[in-house]
Amino acid sequence: MNRQRRIEAIKEKFRLAGMSQEHADDDIFSSLYLEWSTMASSCPLMAAALGPVSNLFSITALAEPWVIELKHGQFDRFHPDNARTIALNAVSLAFGILGNVALLANFTGRVKYSLSQAISITSFYIAGILLLALIGDDYRVYSSLVSDGLVLQFSQGYWSAVITAVLYFLCGFVLTWNLVGHLRGHYPASFILTSSQRSLMLQILCIIIWLAGGGGLFGGIQDWLYGDAVYFCDVTLLTIGFGDFQPTNDLGRALVLPYALIGIFILGLVVCNVRSLVLVSSREKKSLNRVERVRVRNLQRMQLEPADEESFDLMRKIHKSAKKRDMLATLVWNTIIFLIFWLLRLVILHRLYFCSTSLLTIGYGEFVPSLPGSKAFFVLWSLIAVPLLTMLIISMSDTVIAAIVYVAQKLGDVMLKNTSSHLTTEPSQQVPTDLESQKPDEPLSDARNNEIENFNAAYDNYCTDHDNERITKEMLLVDAIQLIVSDMRVDRGKKYSYKEWNMLAKIVDTQFDWLGTDSPIRFPIDEPALFLRLYWNSLKDHLRNKRVQMGKSQQPDVDMFESGAETSKINKTVDAILRATGQEKL
């Protein structure tokens, strides 16, 4: 009986935590699974982000001739591309667009995974190979013309083609890697993405279309080259505003205002949704993997009773330690990636001051990208630097910034304790900080200890005297439900102590193995919701059994809450509680 109840409780925990029971049986905590599952979400997200960016640079490569003739060190004229270069460039762009369309169709479920992957991978590789061949051929022509005495320079179109080829090959590689994981049976034939990650891809596509359209619009109005117009749109939407390109006629000035407002709004949505890439893509799996490995290691090494308080505290410490290590690891990796990308910009442009002011969107304008290659690279760098900076700030907010805020609050409490204590609210009304809240190892308050002791005393009296009309199991369960509702109003993410879990185990007649595979705290869950659901189910089961024993029904499956004066009041009370706490569907 106890074993069956424990199994049902674990199944309920998985449902409330958004997991299926199959996860408990699969070897989801191996490092191999972690790597492949991370790849299942990261690879398509990376391809969907870089694919539209590569198309933007491919359009620039098609719109401008690749070689510039100089006279006295200044621009003289473009050296025209031959018909074959233009034709193959257009074919490469078509294949790149086809790869992105197939990828988007896979995200929306309109094309099967295998077909979409075959089209996308093939298209990206063909587009990259075509551009690579054109780049090599154009470099050969460039070298021959230079040997003839002409003073030449590669245009922004040529460098855009170089960037596009690299991005096409990168998209093809990550999608191939994702396909290999599916063929080896590590995940199903679908992209494992959240709704926020899917919306992020659509927003990236929108911002790239906005940049490409703006380049054509302002290029025509201001008589700029397409690459220069895209560069102008980029520094405008990122609010850098160097001032080297600016509208010079009334139509351009009139259009730049709505264009910038809408573009900045779309860019803001992208930056906000980057949070999902940091917090959702792999951190939860990494945390679970770390927790499980430490749990198994402690279970093999330590001789602890499975249901004692020491085992409970150890499991809590394992979760807390894993969370801290994951946040620090995320901060370190984001910092390293950001610094590498920032130093790459520094190596290419040789301007520490310029890189810093550009990254902070100050844009004084005293230093600006002037060479065709530097403009093309600046557009790519700026589009990637903004989400990287956002990821770094998010990681710091969970660790460094939270620690600074915590220390500042404690320092303020110490320094201003005597002068402002009368102005502070009651402790129960103060809002805890991220580092103060949710510490499962904190001692319970005196009031809470009294509530638990009174409940245990009432439960012991009930167990020794079932005929006592003043103490019934229904009353005990309703009192317990009221405690949970109070917790949900104050702190929905509350983590319960060993005493509170022990109180739950008593009344639902079960025993928890804190370090075992059936541990209810093995995974991160919504503990108040789980408590409420288990108490509620126990109340219904008890009333059904009581009604059967009284001879009013011989069918235990009959809903005991449809009639009966004894249970009508309890039914209405609990239903109101469930509605008030958003748990009416439990």
Q: What is the pLDDT along the chain (586 residues), one digit of tens a residue?
A: 444 444 444 444 434 344 333 333 345 555 566 667 667 767 888 888 899 999 999 999 999 999 999 888 788 888 888 899 999 999 999 999 999 999 988 887 788 888 999 999 999 999 999 999 999 999 998 888 888 888 899 999 999 999 999 999 999 999 998 888 888 877 777 776 667 777 888 888 999 999 999 999 999 999 999 999 999 999 999 888 888 999 999 999 999 999 999 999 998 888 777 765 655 555 666 667 777 777 777 766 666 555 677 778 888 888 777 777 777 776 777 677 667 766 665 555 556 677 777 777 788 888 888 888 889 998 998 888 777 776 677 666 666 676 777 788 778 777 766 544 444 444 433 434 333 344 444 566 666 776 777 777 777 666 666 565 555 777 778 878 888 888 888 877 788 888 888 888 887 777 787 777 777 887 777 888 888 888 888 888 878 877 777 765 444 444 444 444 444 544 555 455 545 444 444 4
pLDDT at residue 437, as a whole number: 40
Contact 12, 533 (CB under 8 A): yes
Element containing residue 362 per DSSP (H, E) = none
pLDDT at residue 33, as a whole number: 62
Phi and psi, residue 195, nearest 5°: -65, -35
Contact 50, 56 (CB under 8 A): no
pLDDT at residue 175, as a whole number: 93
Contact 367, 351 (CB under 8 A): yes
The closest of 527, 450, 451 to 494, measured between CA atoms, is 527
Element containing residue 134 per DSSP (H, E) = helix 113-147
**Gyration radius (Cα) of the chain, Å:** 32
pLDDT at residue 196, as a whole number: 72
Element containing residue 71 per DSSP (H, E) = strand 67-71
Which distant-in-sequence residues (6+ apart) come within 8 Å of 289 by Cβ?
28, 29, 30, 31, 33, 34
pLDDT at residue 159, as a whole number: 95
pLDDT at residue 203, as a whole number: 87
The whole-angstrom separation of Cα 257 and Cα 265 is 12
The closest of 493, 506, 577, 490 to 536, measured between CA atoms, is 577
The whole-angstrom separation of Cα 519 and Cα 505 is 12
* β-sheet bridge partners, residue 71: 74
The closest of 372, 380, 11, 368 to 159, measured between CA atoms, is 372
Q: 539-547 — which CB contacts under 8 Å span 24+ positions?
A: 539/474, 539/477, 539/478, 539/481, 539/570, 539/574, 542/473, 542/474, 542/477, 543/474, 543/567, 543/570
The whole-angstrom separation of Cα 219 and Cα 227 is 9
* β-sheet bridge partners, residue 68: 78, 153
pLDDT at residue 422, as a whole number: 45
The whole-angstrom separation of Cα 455 and Cα 398 is 38
The whole-angstrom separation of Cα 251 and Cα 220 is 11
The closest of 21, 31, 35 to 293, measured between CA atoms, is 31
Helix (H, G, I), strand (E, B) or coil at 370: coil
Backbone CA torsion sign across 222, 226, 231, 237:
positive
The closest of 538, 546, 524 to 586, measured between CA atoms, is 538
pLDDT at residue 11, as a whole number: 43
Owner of token pair 């809002």: 431
The whole-angstrom separation of Cα 80 and Cα 498 is 78
The closest of 260, 236, 237 to 246, measured between CA atoms, is 236
Angle at 150 between CA 145 and CA 153, to 5 degrees: 85
The whole-angstrom separation of Cα 281 and Cα 394 is 14
Owner of token pair 């009192």: 479
Structure tokens at 85: 């270069």
Backbone CA torsion sign across 161, 164, 169, 172:
negative
